Structure 1
């Protein structure tokens, strides 16, 4: 058994169920940090222990620690769909020791879900490194009569408002809304904080299908409790070639999330560069690649400038997605 499988199994037992090279150049550093890191680095996770996000962040913390020799811990700052963690990082000392590791796509959407967003991720956070690209998935219990996405589509068209579905995270809500709108149905959405929170209702049939993060989807597909029917990405993922897309069933739905790491906006250039190198080294490790693939995503390595540009683009795109999903503002 490889290291990442043993680590994941250990975390599951504890209840945690749930490449391009650097291309940009950085300006001269604001001040020298030749001894960085000389203290413990904290990876801030936006969701609680037991969530798919927590499993991914904890694995990355361990991978970065092992490849760099630095001490890395995880601190969960759950709440407000990730805004608490993002704001905590933005307000932290800009010294490189507080790193927000989360889905940039969700962070971009959150900016449009609050009438007075606590931060602007384009200006209050600074990109460090990309991690992967990964979509959310449509799934049903393994004993569900729906064997394919076409089966589920037909059921929903017949059931109408009597059908129900579970969602987690902003990205899951947006994909779920886009899916049912494209199909022309109006099932009842049931929101859960994390995938494990939705598990009992999915297994019991209290909800007819779920929109789940890739960690939750892949783990439960592998253990035989769930059947993944479709990916929300516009094309089949290289790490899950057998899972069809919603586009293949005739629906104009193509959404893919992306993960990255950020620090406070004023973090010096040399510290950002060192953090980027630490993430790159971890991502180049074969076991890290295997872990991220098993969690439903393709590795994506990028420079800090590329991460910042992706955030700007995603914030612009998210405004339309939130409107399509008709998500209420807080």
Structure 2
């Protein structure tokens, strides 16, 4: 018995030592698994087939084709993007769940809710800048207002006899700041969508409207709208002939930037790898042309710059929501 116990004890010690050595070898190998080792999910805040979905899938496909990594797009619409933003903010900070959306809209949403689910300045972590989109002041092709100066003069003279159309929140925010800077008080004619608004602008039922770059540029090419000014701080590359409101002494600089975001606490090396994936797609001429077709320009920004832009936009959004008098949910 004594010999058997001694032998068994020696065997157990040898086995334990071997297991320890195996653990010492395998654990570091596991920790060093290359990222990504499984599919990455891009979360889209709008339904499949929407404009936002097309943009998210463009980057998902671009990264998948250029890197060979599997990218899945998951649509989580609702609450103007707040549902998807919270979903990503509460996800594991491992770089496998990425929020691809308008940073400006996400920032503005923070001021549209009495009890916002997240603070995008601290609950989302910037990865990469993607694109920038401006809104435009537009009139119909037969409008007597040939320039923004013409429209300014008319609005100041007509007072509440003048009208304007707006649909999206971003359009209302730009209109509010434009009119505040101008000192005019036309009456708003609300529209549910930009598509519903355009016919009334074309036939002159409203004196002017504010719409997004996609609508504005497409309708301009078809001869149905005239673009008088952009709300961006400078002229946009996609519409170089359209002046900025800043050229007329107005302190207006509203640009809707799109970016990629992950949960806070995601390791910086993973953030940097994700950023490089997006940048590889952004660097192509194909992407520049794709974004131009959607009225956007490429916005290449580092993770730190994306975070700073979010902080700036939250502050601007709070001011604009208050200026526009938009009630909170």
| TM-score (structure 1 length as normaliser) | 0.79
1:303–1:329 distance in 2 versus 1, CA, 3 Å: same
SS of aligned partner of 1:280:
helix
| Aligned residues of 1:131 and 1:261 also touching (Cα < 8 A) | yes
| Aligned residues of 2:42 and 2:56 also touching (Cα < 8 A) | no
Cα deviation code 1:154-211 (max 9, x no counterpart)? 3323432233323343322211101112222222334445433433443454433221
Partner of 1:36: 36
Please, which runs of 5 or more residues in structure 1 have no aligned partner?
A: 1-30
| Aligned residues of 2:39 and 2:72 also touching (Cα < 8 A) | no
1:221–1:74 distance in 2 versus 1, CA, 3 Å: farther
Q: Which has the higher contact order (CA 8 A, sep 6+)?
A: 1
Alignment of 1:141-160 (within 5 A): 141-160=140-159
Partner of 2:106: 107
| Aligned residues of 1:109 and 1:170 also touching (Cα < 8 A) | no
Alignment of 1:76-95 (within 5 A): 76-95=75-94
Question: Max radius of gyration: which structure?
Answer: 2
Distance between the aligned counterparts of 2:265 and 2:193, measured in 1?
Answer: 32
1:128 aligns with 2:127: yes
Distance between the aligned counterparts of 2:77 and 2:298, measured in 1?
Answer: 25
Distance between the aligned counterparts of 2:48 and 2:185, measured in 1?
Answer: 30
Q: Which one has the bigger helix percentage?
A: 2
Partner of 2:328: 329
**Deviation of 1:127 (Å):** 0.9
Number of residue-to-residue matches in the alignment = 299
| Aligned residues of 1:40 and 1:71 also touching (Cα < 8 A) | yes
Distance between the aligned counterparts of 2:37 and 2:190, measured in 1?
Answer: 40
| Aligned residues of 1:41 and 1:97 also touching (Cα < 8 A) | yes
Partner of 2:307: 308
Distance between the aligned counterparts of 1:326 and 1:107, measured in 2?
Answer: 18
**Deviation of 1:111 (Å):** 1.1
Distance between the aligned counterparts of 1:277 and 1:75, measured in 2?
Answer: 22
Distance between the aligned counterparts of 2:75 and 2:154, measured in 1?
Answer: 39
Distance between the aligned counterparts of 1:32 and 1:320, measured in 2?
Answer: 46
1:189–1:55 distance in 2 versus 1, CA, 3 Å: farther
**Deviation of 1:73 (Å):** 4.8
Cα deviation code 1:248-278 (max 9, x no counterpart)? 3343323233221112224343432222111
Alignment of 1:1-330 (within 5 A): 34-36=34-36, 38-39=38-39, 41-46=41-46, 49-51=49-51, 53-192=52-191, 194-330=193-329
Distance between the aligned counterparts of 2:240 and 2:289, measured in 1?
Answer: 15
**Deviation of 1:326 (Å):** 3.0
Distance between the aligned counterparts of 2:142 and 2:119, measured in 1?
Answer: 44
| Aligned residues of 1:111 and 1:121 also touching (Cα < 8 A) | yes
| Aligned residues of 1:182 and 1:251 also touching (Cα < 8 A) | yes
1:233–1:116 distance in 2 versus 1, CA, 3 Å: same
1:72–1:195 distance in 2 versus 1, CA, 3 Å: farther
Query: RMSD of the TM alignment (CA)?
Result: 2.7
| TM-score (structure 2 length as normaliser) | 0.79
Please, which runs of 5 or more residues in structure 2 have no aligned partner?
A: 1-30
**Deviation of 1:287 (Å):** 0.9
